[in-house]
Chain A
Amino acid sequence: MSTAEIAIPAPRARPQALGPLATLARRRFQLTARTPRELFVPLLTPIMFALVIAPALKTALHTDASYESFVAIGTVGLLIPLNTMFSGLGVIVDRVSGAQRELLTAPIPRGLLLLGNLSVAVAITALQVGVLIAVAVARGIHFHVTGTGILWFVSAAALFTVGMYGTAEILANRVPRQEEYIARVPAIAILPWFLAGALFPITALPAFLTSVAKFLPLTHGLALMRYGLRGDGTGLHAIWGLSDPAAMAALSLGVIAGFALLLTLGSIRVFSRSAAR
């Protein structure tokens, strides 16, 4: 045994947060890119709704052409939850058979691991929403596009994605196996979509369910996205009942921002607690 006192090297300077965050995001992106199902599967159902079911419903129900753009945006409300929930599966894979334990011993705040995953989930969702809208436009669906409108749409979609990814992280860190996670996805990603005015206005629901729908973040998100890309404030009016669309849009944006903030903080807390037993 060596009995000599050996100087312990001084620890190197604390790395800046952005460097590790970029490393973690790049890692997550590389892992996702090697799992094509995470990129393409969430797109299938929304594109089918936008391109097949919406035109069929328009014909069957004898509605006008604007119904197609109504449903096209409604399908964004399905795409975002499906994509973020698929991203959450990666967290379980990372924990069960990946390098998560190694990352937990890294000299970085553990919340960065989650933010790295989140940044990739947001980027991939943005890509998929872009593809969905582009395919809809290519199919001849018309949107009423303005600079301000795009801002409302992007803000709503981005914040809703952040909130839904927080939901996915919380679930992924609370269930031990992929099977249990997948069993919960329909209740979280699909059920609210039917209630949130994706295929029809929430006022068409029974009064009790209309009241329930007003509390769903997705209802606010869809109303705001339609206000942005269709110039249509009826969804916002159905929620708030005010006369000023911009004010109602701001209120709904606040709801979605609160949803995103709450779920992100909650997911960091759940992850940090599960990381250190």
Chain B
Amino acid sequence: MNAIEVTRLSKTYPGGVEAVKGIDFEVAAGEVFGLLGPNGAGKSTTVGMLTTTIAPTAGSARLAGFDVAEDPLAARRVSSVVFQEPVVDRSLTGRRNLEIHARLWGVVPREAQARIDELAASLGLTELVERPAGTYSGGERRRLEIARALVSHPSVLFLDEPTVGLDPRIRAELLETIAGLRSRAEMTVLLTTHYLDEAERLCDRVAIIHAGRIVALDTPAALLAQLGRELVELRVDGDVTGVLVTLRDRGVAGADAFAVGSRLTVPLHEHISGEAIAAIHQLGLAGAISARRPTLDDVYLRLTGDSLAAAA
């Protein structure tokens, strides 16, 4: 049984905004799955529907076999969420925040205390847990929220943009923490992000979501392999389309070469970059040219005509 099953899931908000347009995906138990896309792509709306805080307008979704619309209490019982924004009771202590979650998710009190102590230790919260959550730094609060989500032993954990708004050092620490969650093999993680490095580092598979639709879904390695081992990027003054056609005619570029604005990107499957650059120079087509390894941003750019980093 898959831990998450999403079938033609759609959400149209009052006023006609189509945030999610019939997406399908499945996540196996124990998998770390990423929803990658810029702000407004539909990631948080998808998480909202899966966590039953947003009502789908069409389609269905199941968590551990429980339909989120028809059996929402059961779906909520097997899942936990770490939200994009801070969602804690600031005037209560960290421990009390964790206890409330444990009680509402039905964890036996004695077990809950042991679990809280264990999580506080493993997430570096032992010294903080008796302090009001409002006194925590951004990274500490986010670790508290992760601990809270884990108190109830969820089968499915949702991490909605968990590192947004954190400074680089705290973000790096938190990524370590999230990477550590992979060792909890019984838990399935759905992570939304617009950071490419997060998706590449943390996720077994990634769905790239754009304007409410999934435009690609595979492992990060397979998505990157679509663009070959290397790619050549050139800036073109003038007719970009004409240059693209010429490169294809000369066999330098394949069908997957693409242009966005004045930038032309040529994935290299058969050539090595030195050969391609030499051929382009011989044709006298480019103003500036460089070669590098492909990134998920290139995948996103090819699929949507938009840069993920810029759109985020």
Contact A105 B30 (CB under 8 A): no
**A168–B96 Cα gap in the complex (Å)?**
27
Inter-chain contacts of A3 with B (CB < 8 A): 28
The answer on a CB contact under 8 Å between A2 and B30 is: yes
- With A11-B74, A97-B90 given, is the CB distance from A27 to B29 under 8 Å? no
Q: How many residues in B have their beta carbons less than 8 Å from beta carbons of A?
A: 49
| Interface mask (A260-277 → B, CB under 8 Å = 1, otherwise 0) | 000000000000000111
Whether B31 pairs with A23 at a CB distance below 8 angstroms is: no
A109: B residues at CB distance < 8 A? 73
Partner of B81, one of A1, A34, A105: A105
Q: Does A9 contact B (CB under 8 A)?
A: yes
A123 CB–B CB distance under 8 Å: no
8 Å CB contacts to A: which residues of B44-58? 48, 51-55
Tell me which residues from 1 to 50 in chain A have a Cβ below 8 Å from any Cβ of chain B: 1-9, 11-15, 19-20, 23-24, 27, 30-31, 34-35
Residues of B within 8 A of A20 (CB): 103-104
- When distances are taken between beta carbons in the complex, the residues of chain B under 8 Å from A1 are 28, 31, 204-205, 219
Question: A103 to B104, Cβ gap below 8 A?
Answer: yes
Q: Which of B78, B89, B91 has the most CB of A within 10 A?
A: B89
For the complex formed, measure the closest distance between the CB of A263 and the CB atoms of chain B, giving whole angstroms: 25
A99 and B89 within 8 A (CB): yes
Return chain A residues, CB-CB under 8 Å to B91. 30-31, 34-35
Tell me if A101 counts as interface (CB < 8 A to partner B). yes
User: Is A179 engaged at the interface, CB distance under 8 Å to the other chain?
Assistant: no
Q: CB < 8 Å: which of A12, A13, A30, A102 contacts B96?
A: A30
Given contacts A20-B103, A31-B89, A34-B91, contact A105 B54 (CB under 8 A): no
Name A93-108 residues within 8 Å CB distance of B: 97-108
Give the size category of A's interface with B.
35 or more
Q: Given A107-B77, A109-B73, answer yes or no on A9-B153 (Cβ-Cβ < 8 Å).
A: yes
Q: Does B100 contact A (CB under 8 A)?
A: yes
Q: Is B101 an interface residue (CB 8 A)?
A: yes
Query: B174 in the interface, Cβ–Cβ < 8 Å?
Result: no
Contact B155 A9 (CB under 8 A): yes
Q: Chain B: which residue is nearest A99 at the CB level?
A: B89
Bound complex: CA of A31 vs CA of B133, how far in Å? 12
**Would you call A23 and B103 a contact (CB within 8 A)?**
yes
Q: Quick one: given A102-B81, A108-B104, are A9 and B186 in contact (CB under 8 Å)?
A: yes
Instruction: Give Cα A4–Cα B186 distance, bound, in whole angstroms.
Output: 11
Q: How far is the CA of A223 from the CA of B149 in the complex (A)?
A: 51
In the bound complex, residues from chain A placing their C-beta under 8 Å from that of B66 are 11
> Which residues of the other chain, B, contact A14 by a CB distance below 8 angstroms?
73, 77, 106
CB distance A104 to B53 under 8 Å?
yes
Report B85 CB to chain A, min CB distance, Å: 8
Chain A CB within 10 A, most for which of B31, B76, B100, B104: B104
**Complex: chain A residue closest to B55, CB-CB:** A276
Q: Which residues of A come within 8 Å of B, CB atoms?
A: 1-9, 11-15, 19-20, 23-24, 27, 30-31, 34-35, 97-109, 275-277
What are 9 A-B pairs at a CB distance below 8 A? A1-B31, A2-B185, A6-B186, A11-B78, A23-B104, A30-B91, A102-B101, A107-B105, A277-B53
